[in-house]
Chains A and B, each alone.
Chain A
Amino acid sequence: MEPLLEVRNLTKVFKKGSSGEFTAVNGVNFCLYPNETLGIVGESGSGKSTVAKMIARLLETSGGEIFLQGEDITHAKGKALRDIYRQFQMVFQSPAASFDPRRTLGDGIGESLKNSKTAKKEIKKRVRELLVQCGLPEDYDKRYPHEVSGGECQRAAIARALAIQPEILICDEATSALDVTVQKQIIELLGKLKKERGMSYLFICHDLALVQMFCDRVVVMKDGRIVEEGRPDEVIMHPKNDYTKNLVDAVL
């Protein structure tokens, strides 16, 4: 089967100060297949968010390639990039910072619809539907980001990412600020969309239990490299790599 999304040898080097360099992501390879959920786990600072941002073309790569349905998008720009964003979306790790403080949540959620020339009335209706789907009251579209809690903002961020019905969703700790019941609701929603629309997810998460439950495959990152890859049950129950063992032991 042809992968939906593929990264080859992805690398990111940050400049530190005048001469120092820091390799945050170092030669990462993986594929995401249609209708699959790929988990990325790893300790804090292992480069998970950096990988996500490079795939979303929000951060220039230092090396390697990114393919979307066989097409090289590593250097996509302008109009081409805007078209790509109709196919994939991302939920940011810090939801509060990802909403414009001077615009309502409704504005933020509807922005992609507005850009694809949807009628105003239709946008409003869709935004309210999305809010309800993500477990928020529909009148939250008039609220400002500072007027909602962290978890509510996170759900609004998920609603925004789902607005233009992407095929791929990159979730960077998308459920970390949610309590168990809301988290369950969101996971069920994502599962339902996966089944109904055949969506694929790149699911960055530090909750190993959730990864085990929700992901089809998982990669383990450490210091910018992938150290292990496999089915969640195998990786979590019988880790081959010492680092993964420590990671699992630390949780269980």
Chain B
Amino acid sequence: MSEKTASVTVRRQIVRKDHTKGKMIFFGVLVLLLLLMTIFAEYICPYDPNQQNLDQALQSPGFAHPFGTDRYGRDMLSRVIIGSQTSIFSALVLVAIITVVGTVIGMICGYAGGVIDSVVMRISDICLAFPGLVFALAIAAILNGGVQNAVIALAAISWPKYSRIARSQTLSVKNTEYIAAARLAGSGSFGIVVRHVLPNIVGSILVTAMLDIGTMMMEIAGLSFLGLGAQPPTAEWGSMMSGGRSMLQTYPWVVLTPGLAIFISVVLFNLLGDTIRDYMDPRNSRRG
């Protein structure tokens, strides 16, 4: 009886692991397609995304313009495709910045401890205590608009999350015997952090980063919607939605198509992040 149950459990685990891997590959391919579309946006666009053509203004979706046109007669499909460059790339750059900066700061604090640690951690406490988007709004407003400044503003409030994770993980790795052994082998602090601490904490940080890409896309789009991110005529999904918001009832495609683009990309990145997290979960695979 008990033997039977055991074998059943084992089989279920194996099935689940393979499933996770398949899902991960599936979403990975979809995200890859999205990124390829972004990279080759210029070549894919059926029309010049910035070409105004007032006779064609506000056409509903049809053969010539699958996503319709906006009030200046610009092709929405082309604008959505070209807009992915700003929306997706700025989110990727933002996540890359906060991951690297946050991790480096967190590792230094965790490994060195002492005064540096307390000072930096109090600063990050302050950042975490503010409602994030409000703080980013303030910074973006001071710096004036522009995607670049929106990225800087969001980076300024988002790194503490990563430094916290990196710090706590570093603290738990720091007291292991393999770090003691590395010290006995004559490795200096820098070598130990790079060779032993980083590889052991990087997994969970990357998973967090994957899950953050979607969130950051939303926040950049949010800032742009409020006029603090991408400025017209740059095509960016948030600012495109903002530009068309008065026409939601009359010409809904002007708002809905960039909205749909945000929705699909955020969901894709989040699903990929989720499945990667499941895959790395030690309960699913014997070893990460």
Give residues in A with beta carbon < 8 Å to B: 53, 56, 58, 78, 82, 85-86, 89-90, 92, 94, 97-103, 108, 111-112, 115-116, 146, 160, 163-164
Contacts and interface: CB of A to CB of B under 8 A. Distances in A.
A116 B187 CA distance: 9
Given A98-B177, A108-B178, A163-B185, 8 more contacts: A53-B180, A58-B184, A85-B186, A90-B184, A101-B178, A111-B182, A112-B185, A112-B186
B107 to A, nearest CB: 15
Interface string B168-189: 0000000011101111111110
Given A98-B178, A100-B200, A115-B191, A86 B184 contact: no
B186 A100 contact: no
18 contacts: A53-B180, A58-B183, A78-B188, A85-B184, A85-B186, A86-B186, A92-B180, A97-B176, A97-B177, A98-B178, A100-B195, A100-B199, A100-B200, A101-B200, A111-B186, A112-B185, A116-B186, A160-B181
B11 interface: no
Interface of B: 176-178, 180-188, 191, 195-196, 199-200, 287
Given A97-B176, A101-B200, A108 B181 contact: yes
**What 6 A-B pairs have minimum CB-CB distances, sorted nearest first?**
A112-B185, A111-B185, A115-B186, A98-B177, A100-B178, A97-B177
Chain B interface SS verdict (over half): helix
A249 B213 CA distance: 66
A82 B180 contact: no
B182 A100 contact: yes
Given A102-B200, A146-B287, A115 B180 contact: no
A177 to B, nearest CB: 15
B174 to A, nearest CB: 12
A224 to B, nearest CB: 21
Contact of B180 (A98, A108, A116, A146): A98
Contacts of B195: 100, 103
A196 B76 CA distance: 82
A115 B200 contact: no
A102 B199 contact: yes
B199 A89 contact: no
Contacts of A102: 199-200
Contacts of B186: 82, 85-86, 111-112, 115-116, 164
